[in-house]
Amino acid sequence: MIKERQIIYKKELATNIYEMLIEAPKVARAAHAGQFVLIMVDEKGERVPMTLVDWNPEVGWIKIVYQEVGTSTIKLSMKKVGDEIYYIAGPLGHPSRVSKFGNVLMVGGGVGIPALYPIARELKRLGNRVITVIGAKTSNALIYEKEMSEVSDEVYITTDNGSKGIKGFTVDAVKLLLNNGEKFDAVWAVGPALMMKAVAEVTNGKIPVSYSSLNSIMVCGVGMCGACRVTVGNKTLLTCVDGPEFDSYQVNWKELTIRLQAYKKEEMISLEMLKGAGKV
Amino acid sequence: MSKIGHRLEPKTRPPEIRKKDFEEVELTISPEEAIKEASRDIKFCAAPCSFRGCPVNVNIPGFLKKVSEGDFKEAYKILIQNTPVPSITGRVCQQEIQCEGQCVLRRVGEPIAIGAVERFVGDWALENNIEIPVTSEKKHKKVAVVGSGPSGIVAAADLARMGYDVTMYEAFHIPGGVLAYGIPEFRLPKRILRKEFERLQNLGVNIELGVVVGTTYTIPELLKDYNAVFLGVGAGRPIFLNVPGENLAGIYTANEFLTRVNLMKAYMFPEYDTPIHVGKKVAVIGAGNTAMDAARSALRLGADVYVIYRRGRNEVSARAVEFKHAEEEGVKFIFWAAPVEFESNDGINVSSIKLMKMKPGEPDRSGRPRPVPTGETFNFDTDMVITAIGFYPNPLIPQMTPDLKVDDHGRVVVDIEGRTSIPRVYAGGDIVTGESTVIEAMGWGRRVARTIDKDLQKI
Ligand SMILES: Cc1cc2nc3c(=O)[nH]c(=O)nc-3n(C[C@H](O)[C@H](O)[C@H](O)COP(=O)(O)OP(=O)(O)OC[C@H]3O[C@@H](n4cnc5c(N)ncnc54)[C@H](O)[C@@H]3O)c2cc1C
Ligand SMILES: Cc1cc2nc3c(=O)[nH]c(=O)nc-3n(C[C@H](O)[C@H](O)[C@H](O)COP(=O)(O)OP(=O)(O)OC[C@H]3O[C@@H](n4cnc5c(N)ncnc54)[C@H](O)[C@@H]3O)c2cc1C
């Protein structure tokens, strides 16, 4: 018998990037593309948000893909198949506002690619023509190429060093597509804040509908702490309950990147402590 | 004055010591002290107590009489008819404007320390594991209680005692609502909450954590599985000042700061993983209970703390004793000043606040002088700001439940017995009243439990 919150499967997709299947029937039965869960690895852990990459309402599992960047994600990696996660809450946030647009551009970077996957799948299912641009630093770090191909009409790849596809950033491929006269009715971008900002800048005025899934630092995830606040169209909104997707053209990107750095020093201390304890 | 004896002032730990830790500030009075203080009432008060000061009408003379006789168990029985958790209400109620504010002895001398005696009785009952047995039979009907704050605790306990099968859903990993994430350990030790939840479980209440009603389960889904649903989801959405610079790094809402400290135990970072950044010179905006809790927590984490309030000393809305304790501990207050802009030297972190000098104007609806800008500003250097200017009702369930009627403040609309616009869905506490008090929320929990019982008898 698999217990609730037990890890069913775990796989390293690329260096420091893992795919994990967790038993979470309550979340799986209610999940929609674009939503996320909050996870606490153990009793002393942080509450970290993770996008729902896939789920099975009948069987009751959810899938997440994450990159080890600090204490919580490294602690998550230390869990083995069969281990239990202390806490999972969700699904959280508004589902992606998918519908039949026509031509849709999907832009994903790094661990943003798996997060983009269920949205692309849903858009495809609704009959859109899905054009995808995905990118990573190197070809080794590129993940979810196969999955994205299955739900896209065309896939373009970029790598920073040119080891695969176009040499450059995802936004460079987006520029090429737009310069070639491709017309899109909507665009989704999921990835690092700088990537989403860059995509917003080049698509603004060219693609009418544009969403980015913001990765603000979160604590509560249910709209009461305000940690994940962002300015969108001069209004203060909360990524957890008002997002996580917002109109890319309205987001105050500068502020988002400032707020992402608020805990740099403490994150280092926490990581040093984890290392000092000989756990990694 | 001396004729009616001096009011008992509960002992506190010395400010220099307590401001360095998170242990409780005020100590529970001794049985002897409780008897002596309660006897003051019996000896000197001829006028019958009106109970009018108490939102849940605790039988104050009744329980004081039993305490004066040393019969704490009877006193406890009387108390819990109206306040199910006297250990908590004795600690957090605003006694000076409620029971003690109405105490007849106040007019001729000093009011009875009702809160301290109440707390004593509650703690005595907890320590001695006093359980008042339940006699009702199983009703074989199911009720879902959403939210585990004061309103949910009382609704769940009462319904379980009446014989209903109760499941409580809470979004967080620790139950208790504001009592868990907001009010700090030094004011309300978590062991009391834990005991309370053990008692709930002993009553048969099933507590499910990590369930966000509205998304994990929708209200219509709950209505399929339960005969009734109670919403006690509180007023947790922080209000922002909406002045330039408010989203700079180093500016926190009190809820974020307190959640990190209380719920995530950031004061034990890095043993616990959640970090907290504490500035050297912290400015707390506002002067309610939330502001005091944030200020005193920051103080305990080593900061120099200033509370900045747009009104004056007499208008401070926190419990009087918390304000007193804060001053004793060295929190400084700047009155008649309101932020108009937050500024930054490096473009990332807050470094100063531009404050508008205010002055008292015409009384507003609350009867307090309205703060009026003078036009004169000054700058206050700081490296961390905590805003504590209030909360909106939690919007999550209303957002996900279009049929649920809310007013223009986002409060769930109910009739006087707690029925919402959706049949079999009830609500109470801060989600209905807006930001209020623990005892009001508990009163709602009790009232709505009775309504649910009444309605479910009919089907
Ligand atoms: C709605 C949402 C969905 C997310 N989905 C995913 C996902 O599917 N997969 C995944 O790998 N990550 C995802 N993230 C980011 C993830 O939550 C963070 O990487 C994680 O909290 C880092 O925790 P840590 O303790 O390991 O690292 P920390 O020590 O906390 O941080 C290490 C580094 O990561 C940066 N960081 C911290 N928090 C965040 C954050 N929320 N977003 C971006 N960078 C951050 C810090 O600035 C720092 O440089 C998501 C974030 C949000 C808000
Ligand atoms: C810092 C602070 C200090 C205070 N000090 C005092 C004091 O000294 N004295 C006093 O009388 N009052 C005080 N108050 C006010 C008092 O705490 C509140 O009025 C009271 O807690 C309201 O109770 P409630 O049951 O309505 O909601 P809450 O205590 O807010 O509890 C609501 C619960 O519902 C949960 N929830 C919300 N949405 C969902 C959902 N969709 N699904 C599942 N669960 C959900 C929340 O996580 C929370 O646990 C203080 C408030 C704060 C913030």
CATH number at residue B77: 1.10.1060.10
Q: Is residue A278 part of a domain?
A: no
Q: Is residue B7 part of a domain?
A: no
Please classify residue B91 by burial: count the beta carbons closer than 10 Å to its beta carbon, then call 0-12 exposed, 13-18 middle and 19+ buried. buried
Nearest CA to ligand 2 atom 10: B437
Last residue of a domain, one of A34, A67, A92: A92
SS3 call for B19: coil
User: Which DSSP letter does residue A70 get?
Assistant: S
**A225·B215 Cβ contact <8 A:** no
**B216·A91 Cβ contact <8 A:** yes
Query: Which residues span the domain enclosing A114?
Result: 103-259
Beta-strand pair A103-109/A186-190? parallel
Shared domain check, A226 and A157: yes
Chain B hits for A223, Cβ within 8 Å: 236-237, 394-396
Q: Collect contacts of B370-379 with beta carbons under 8 A, ≥24 apart.
A: B371/B310, B371/B311, B371/B336, B371/B338, B373/B338, B377/B340, B378/B337, B378/B354, B379/B343, B379/B352, B379/B353, B379/B354, B379/B355
Q: Token pair for residue B18?
A: 């307590």
Specify the pTM: 0.91
Answer whether B83 touches A (CB < 8 Å): no
Residue A278: the pLDDT is 52
For residue A229, give the chain B residue with the closest CA: B247
Asked if A137 contacts A165 with a C-beta cutoff of 8 angstroms, the reply is no
Q: Of the ligands numbered here, which is closest to the C-alpha atom of B85? A: 2
Last residue of a domain, one of B97, B127, B157: B127
Residue B438: the pLDDT is 92
Shared domain check, B194 and B110: no
Q: Is residue B3 part of a domain?
A: no
Shared domain check, A147 and A26: no
Residue B459: the pLDDT is 74
- Which helix (H) or strand (E) segment is B357 a member of? strand B352-363
Residue A69: the pLDDT is 87
B235 Cα–ligand 2 center, Å:
6
Q: Is residue A269 part of a domain?
A: no
Number of domains forming the structure of chain B: 3
Q: What is the ipTM of this complex?
A: 0.88
Shared domain check, A161 and A53: no
Query: Which residues span the domain enclosing B412?
Result: 142-236+393-457
pLDDT tens over chain B, length 459 residues: 446 678 888 899 999 999 999 999 999 999 998 898 888 766 667 666 666 778 888 888 889 889 989 999 999 999 988 888 899 999 999 888 888 887 777 777 788 888 999 999 999 999 898 887 777 789 999 999 999 999 999 999 999 999 999 999 999 999 999 999 999 999 999 999 998 899 889 889 999 999 999 999 999 999 999 999 999 999 988 999 999 999 998 999 999 999 988 888 888 888 888 888 788 999 999 999 999 999 999 999 999 999 999 999 999 999 999 999 999 999 999 999 999 999 999 888 899 999 999 999 998 887 888 999 999 999 999 999 999 999 999 888 998 899 999 999 999 999 999 999 999 999 999 999 999 999 999 999 999 999 999 999 987
* Contact B234 CB / ligand 2 (< 6 Å): yes
SS3 call for A145: helix
Answer whether B347 touches A (CB < 8 Å): yes
Strand (E) positions, B62-150?
142-146
Residue A280: the pLDDT is 47
Which residue's entry shows tokens 């009703």? B139
Write the CA distances from A91 to A49, A53, B148, integer angstroms. 10, 12, 20
Q: Token pair for residue B415?
A: 């009739």
Shared domain check, B249 and B374: yes
Q: Is residue A274 part of a domain?
A: no
Shared domain check, A143 and A240: yes
Q: How many residue pairs from chains A and B have C-beta atoms closer than 8 A?
A: 128
Tell me the one-letter amino acid at B148. Answer: S
Q: Would the CA dihedral through A262, A266, A268, A271 be positive or negative?
A: negative
Shared domain check, B97 and B75: yes
Number of domains forming the structure of chain A: 2
**A223·B396 Cβ contact <8 A:** yes
**In which residue ranges of chain A is pLDDT below 70?**
263, 271, 273-280
Tell me the CATH number at B219: 3.50.50.60
Answer whether A225 touches B (CB < 8 Å): yes
Q: For A18, phi and psi rounded to 5 degrees? A: -125, 150
Asked if B29 contacts B120 with a C-beta cutoff of 8 angstroms, the reply is yes
**A89·B253 Cβ contact <8 A:** no
Residue A276: the pLDDT is 65
